[in-house]
Structure 1
Amino acid sequence: MDILTHRITIICGHYGCGKTNLALNLALEAAEQGGPVTVVDLDIVNPYFRSSEYRGLLGSSGVRLIAPVFAGTTLDTPTLPPEISSIFEEDAGKVFIDAGGDDAGVTALGGLHQRLTAAGYAMLYVINRYRALSQTPEEAAALLKEIEGACRLKAGGIVNNSHLGAETQMQDVLEALPFGEKTAALTHLPLLFSTVPDFAAMGGSVPEGFKSIKRLVTFAWE
């Protein structure tokens, strides 16, 4: 998983695939290893499941959050946070960009594509077999092309984050593995790992090729 050694990591994917939960997990893991960590919430067209909602969680671990100008309000606007330029400075440390869903959500990244390319980045494409409109490898592969076209950046690897929220069982994760493998084959990208919610892991251990993550993002009614 050499791709994860990049200083700047972009997490993209379909709405509801679990981008924010993965971004939070990766950022908190990086913070545990020491050094500065920054999370950028670029989900500026979707008021739900934003990294901005977890400012307290990130702050308690020493993770800096760069949020949309109107995060935490009832307004939505395609305005980039003014602090965004700071991610290109070395003292920003490890940077995790929680991009918006689909091609519309990642359009904001297009304005940064030249600087991101010059700085070096890794873009992870998160997929979820159990999310509507991306339930087949063919649908997931087609959506990636739209995302890459909108942000003018290229994904470097796939994360199979197939889950059913709090109802996820280990069998659900295992049954989604062929979906992840086929999507990787269609996109000619490596399948970096498949995720397993920590509560679904068998005895706390996961099979090779899988990564246990915490369920930090919950639904409003939970």
Structure 2
Amino acid sequence: MKVFKGKPCVYIFTGHFGSGKSEVAINFAMNLKRTHPERKVAMIDLDIINPFFRSADAQAALEKEGILVEIPTCANSNVEGIALTGKMGALIDDTEYDVILDVGGDDLGARAVGYYCDRIARRDHIIFFVVNKNRPFTKDKESALKIFDEVESATRLKINGIINNTNVLEMTDAETVLAGLPLINEISEAKGIPVMFSAAGRHLCDELNKSIPEDELLPLDEYVKLLWDRRENH
């Protein structure tokens, strides 16, 4: 993907609840490692707010690809008292690593990034704002910009680009994804930052490539489970 930097970088994925940012962040990390196997890649789960969707669910799959995974204490359980680890800061500081951060779903979750903002600012970094047009808090320009501003304020860093992840879970089709682009472009124009890429289920990408260039489309495989699915599998 053209968004990948030529040298190690910190990639930060933010977005409101239901944006699908955890799935996007995981697949982004997988894609980065598969296309640049020589690079060291780490995934840090900073989603300390939402127990329903977490990148920690994909830990085994990520590690199988050679991606280092660091999660908060108790991140795989529905426990509110979650603590950040010292290794998270060390990875952010390590300029040999591409670091992908999956951040909590609103300004409260984004404060976890704010905790590390000075360290992040010392490195090349990109902050993405992931938008799902079909969620109530990002359904139109005004509501999406409100969340955007809250996340920027909480992280104390500037968002660099927008990701279109418009979906309705398993009912998503190519038209669903494309329907999100007008709103994404409105946010992009309002904030003066680019649309980085769209994300969609791998099975939709051939059809979507008729409208979206291949290097602006991230194919998604499903890794993140709902909380109730986790319980059924334990």
Q: Give your verdict on TM over 0.5.
A: yes
User: Is residue 80 of structure 1 aligned with residue 73 of structure 2?
Assistant: no
Give the partner amino acid of 1:211. Answer: L
Aligned-pair identity in percent equals: 27
Quick one: which amino acid aligns to residue 155 of structure 1? I
C-alpha distance in 1, partners of 2:56/2:175?
32
Report the 3-state secondary structure (helix = DSSP H, G, I; strand = E; otherwise coil) of the residue aligned with 2:104: strand
Bigger mean CA offset, 1-10 vs 51-60: 1-10
Give me the whole-angstrom Cα distance separating, in 2, the residues matched to 1:136 and 1:99: 22
Which of these residues, 184, 197, 221, is aligned with residue 215 of structure 1? 221
Aligned to 1:90: 95
Pairwise CA RMSD? 2.0
Q: Does the residue aligned with 1:141 lie in a helix, a strand or coil?
A: helix
Mapped to 2, the partners of 1:107 and 1:218 lie a distance apart of 24
CA distance in 2, matches of 1:67, 1:208: 34
Give the alignment of 1:40-119 within 5 angstroms. 40-77=44-81, 79-87=83-91, 88-91=93-96, 93-119=97-123
For the residues of structure 1 that align with 2:201 and 2:134, how far apart are their CA atoms?
14
Deviates more, 1:202-211 or 1:137-146: 202-211
Q: Deviations over 1:19-54 (max 9, x none)?
A: 111111111111112121100000012212111111
TM-score, L = length of structure 1: 0.92
Structure 1 pair 150/31, CA: closer, same or farther in 2 (3 Å)? same
Partner of 2:13: 11
Instruction: Indicate yes or no: 2:175 matched with 1:161.
Output: no
Unaligned runs of at least 5 residues, structure 2 = none
1:11 touches 1:99 (CA, 8 Å); kept in 2?
yes
Aligned runs of 1:19-38 on 2, under 5 Å? 19-32=21-34, 33-34=36-37, 35-38=39-42
Aligned partners of 1:131 and 1:173: how far apart in 2? 13
> Which of 111-120 and 192-201 deviates more?
192-201
SS of structure 2 residue aligned to 1:166:
coil
Contact 1:10 1:97 in 2 (8 A): yes
Cα displacement (A) at 1:111: 1.4
Would the alpha carbon gap of residues 221 and 71 (structure 1) be closer, same or farther in structure 2, given more than 3 Å must change? closer
- Displacement of 1:195 after TM fit? 2.0
Report deviation, 1:181.
0.7
Cα deviations by residue, 1:175-214 (Å, 9 ceiling, x for unpaired): 2211111111122211112222212234584523440422
Provide the rounded CA distance (Å) in 1 between the counterparts of 2:56 and 2:24: 14
The alpha-carbon distance between structure 1 residues 108 and 31, as it changes in their structure 2 partners (threshold 3 A), is: same
Name structure 1 gaps, 5 residues minimum. Answer: none
Q: Which has the higher contact order (CA 8 A, sep 6+)?
A: 2
TM-score by length of 2: 0.87
**Structure 1 residues 212, 97: closer, same or farther in 2, change over 3 A?**
closer
Specify whether residues 203 and 110 from structure 1 end up closer, same or farther in structure 2 by C-alpha distance, changes over 3 A only.
Answer: closer
Q: Note if contact 1:99-1:106 (Cα within 8 Å) is conserved in structure 2.
A: yes
CA contact (8 A) 2:95 2:123 kept: no
Which string of whole-angstrom CA distances, capped at 9 and with x for unpartnered residues, describes residues 96-116 of structure 1? 000111101111111111111
**Contact 1:170/1:202 (8 A) holds in 2:** no
Partner residue, 1:133: 137
